[in-house]
């Protein structure tokens, strides 16, 4: 036995911490918070154990719970009291996110990020407004109650890109006016970062950064979130605006465009199945990179743990650590609170 290189020398308990390359810290994590204008009570989200939709009156209390664990940042999602074709409650001054953010920022020190999108606010559930042909088709489908069966095949049902930009920009500005520290556009509308940057600058918010969902894939891992935020498309899917899971080079184009338009933080979503994209972006740009450990990634670990097949705490930590290792600086995750608690108690 004559080999000099024995990596196992550096794996004793004494030296492992000294040579570990990656660390996970509560301050790397962002906790999602769901605020629901349709309820007076907290409502558990079935497919996301431990998470709830909270009424506006509980928004501050919910964020205080997050802060208690050592996590310092939240991303706020809203479920509006009503929906319409233009998603008008997304940019209403008294909208659910706007009201919640006003309270949270007045009453806590949390760093507050808001998700900027229309899908929770449009009655058709898409991330932008529909073409006029699409609106008519949608009305017809809805009237005839054949949405489920036939709408998917209707070529008229598409989301308009450019007219959506103005609404996204208005939404971002209304969030900034409510006190948001950062806005995070997630609609995959071409030009969204530029439009939002311009809107924010014109309104006097040139200091508010944009975290772009730059490489957001059309993923089946968003299922539980769509239950949580009531944002599933009423017909069809999002494949005409979110990215094809088959594509990696295209992610670099998407990111380059967002960087050009002024994105401050670059996000990849989902996380675990797209670590190659996290790494590629890390190597190409100096901007902070965020990974979104999405609802399906959370739900699948919980489901396996419930069956006793996986140790939840350990797989949660390992998942997040792998995102750091791939190059993420920050991670948006439903595990934020539980992992932060594990880290602080040294479990
Ligand atoms: C809104 C949005 C979605 C998610 C974050 N922002 C839903 C979607 O694009 O369908 C998904 C988050 C998750 O699954 O945890 N556009």
| Ligand 1 centroid to residue 61 C-alpha, Å | 24
Decide: 294 in ligand 1 pocket, CB within 6 A: yes
Report the alpha-carbon distance of residue 59 to residue 45 in Å, rounded.
16
Report the alpha-carbon distance of residue 58 to residue 42 in Å, rounded.
8
Decide: 225 in ligand 1 pocket, CB within 6 A: yes
Residue of 172, 226, 238, 243 with the most ligand 1 atoms within 8 Å of its CB, for mutation = 226
Question: For this structure, is 324 an active site residue?
Answer: no
Decide: 122 in ligand 1 pocket, CB within 6 A: no
Instruction: Give CA separation, 313 vs 29, 335, 343, in Å.
Output: 16, 9, 10
Q: Place 237 in a pLDDT band, splitting at 50, 70 and 90.
A: confident
- What's the confidence (pLDDT) of residue 131? 78
Nearest-CA residue for ligand 1 atom 8 is 222
Residue of 184, 229, 273 with the most ligand 1 atoms within 8 Å of its CB, for mutation = 229
Query: Could you tell me how far CA 168 lies from the centroid of its own chain?
Result: 16
Decide: 226 in ligand 1 pocket, CB within 6 A: yes
* Active-site pick, 99, 170, 216, 324: 216
- What's the confidence (pLDDT) of residue 94? 98
Decide: 186 in ligand 1 pocket, CB within 6 A: yes
Decide: 55 in ligand 1 pocket, CB within 6 A: no
Instruction: Name the β-bridge partners of 35.
Output: 54, 78
Q: pLDDT tens-digit profile of 47-81?
A: 999 999 999 999 999 999 999 999 999 999 999 99
Q: Place 147 in a pLDDT band, splitting at 50, 70 and 90.
A: low
Q: What angle do CA 118, 268, 125 make, to 5 degrees?
A: 20
Query: Could you tell me how far CA 189 lies from the centroid of its own chain?
Result: 15
Domains of the chain, earliest start first:
26-345 (3.20.20.70)
| Ligand 1 centroid to residue 225 C-alpha, Å | 6
Report the alpha-carbon distance of residue 95 to residue 99 in Å, rounded.
6
Least-confidence region, from 117-121, 130-134, 249-253, 257-261? 130-134
Is 285 exposed, middle or buried (CB count within 10 Å of its CB: 0-12, 13-18, 19+)?
Answer: middle
- What's the confidence (pLDDT) of residue 152? 55
| Ligand 1 centroid to residue 222 C-alpha, Å | 6
Q: What percent of the chain has pLDDT over 90?
A: 84
- What's the confidence (pLDDT) of residue 151? 54
Q: pLDDT tens-digit profile of 290-322?
A: 999 999 999 999 999 999 999 999 999 999 999
- What's the confidence (pLDDT) of residue 149? 47
Q: Place 155 in a pLDDT band, splitting at 50, 70 and 90.
A: low
Q: pLDDT tens-digit profile of 160-217?
A: 999 999 999 999 999 999 999 999 999 999 999 999 999 999 999 999 999 999 999 9
Residue 208 carries which DSSP code?
A: -
Q: Are 162 and 85 in contact (CB under 8 A)?
A: no
Question: For this structure, is 83 an active site residue?
Answer: no
- What's the confidence (pLDDT) of residue 146? 54
* Active-site pick, 99, 269, 307, 324: 269
Mutual angle of helices 96-107 and 59-68, in 10-degree steps: 50
Q: Place 234 in a pLDDT band, splitting at 50, 70 and 90.
A: confident
- What's the confidence (pLDDT) of residue 347? 65
Atom of ligand 1 nearest to the CA of 296: 14
Decide: 222 in ligand 1 pocket, CB within 6 A: yes
Is 207 exposed, middle or buried (CB count within 10 Å of its CB: 0-12, 13-18, 19+)?
Answer: exposed
Arithmetic mean of pLDDT over the chain: 93
């Amino acid at each position: 036995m004559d080999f000099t290189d024995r990596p196992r020398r550096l794996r004793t308990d004494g030296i492992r911490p000294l040579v570990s390359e990656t660390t996970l810290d509560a301050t790397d994590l962002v906790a999602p918070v769901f605020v629901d204008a349709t309820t007076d009570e907290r409502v558990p989200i079935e497919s996301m154990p431990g998470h709830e939709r909270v009424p506006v009156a509980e928004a501050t209390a919910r964020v205080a719970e997050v802060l208690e664990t050592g996590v310092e940042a939240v991303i706020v999602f809203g479920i509006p009291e009503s929906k319409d074709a233009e998603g008008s409650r997304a940019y209403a001054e008294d909208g659910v996110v706007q009201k919640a953010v006003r309270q949270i920022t007045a009453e806590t020190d949390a760093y507050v990020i808001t998700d900027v999108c229309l899908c929770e606010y449009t009655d058709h559930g898409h991330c932008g407004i529909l073409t006029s042909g699409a609106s008519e088709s949608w009305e017809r489908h809805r009237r005839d109650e054949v949405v489920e069966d036939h709408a998917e095949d209707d070529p008229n049902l598409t989301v308009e890109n450019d007219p959506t930009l103005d609404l996204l920009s208005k939404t971002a500005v209304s969030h900034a006016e409510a006190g948001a520290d950062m806005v995070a556009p997630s609609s995959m509308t071409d030009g969204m970062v530029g439009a939002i940057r311009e809107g924010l600058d014109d309104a006097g918010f040139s200091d508010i950064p944009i975290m772009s969902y730059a490489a957001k894939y059309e993923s089946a891992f968003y299922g539980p979130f769509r239950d949580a935020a009531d944002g599933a498309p009423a017909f069809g899917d999002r494949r005409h605006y979110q990215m094809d899971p088959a594509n990696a080079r295209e992610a670099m184009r998407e990111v380059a465009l967002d960087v050009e338009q002024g994105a401050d933080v670059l996000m990849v979503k989902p996380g675990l199945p797209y670590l190659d994209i996290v790494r590629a972006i890390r190597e190409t740009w100096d901007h902070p990179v965020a990974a979104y450990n999405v609802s399906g990634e959370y739900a699948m670990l919980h489901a396996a743990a419930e069956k006793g097949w996986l140790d939840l705490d350990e797989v949660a930590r390992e998942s997040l650590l792998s995102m750091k290792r791939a190059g993420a600086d920050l991670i948006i995750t439903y595990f934020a609170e539980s992992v932060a608690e594990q880290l602080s108690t040294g479990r």
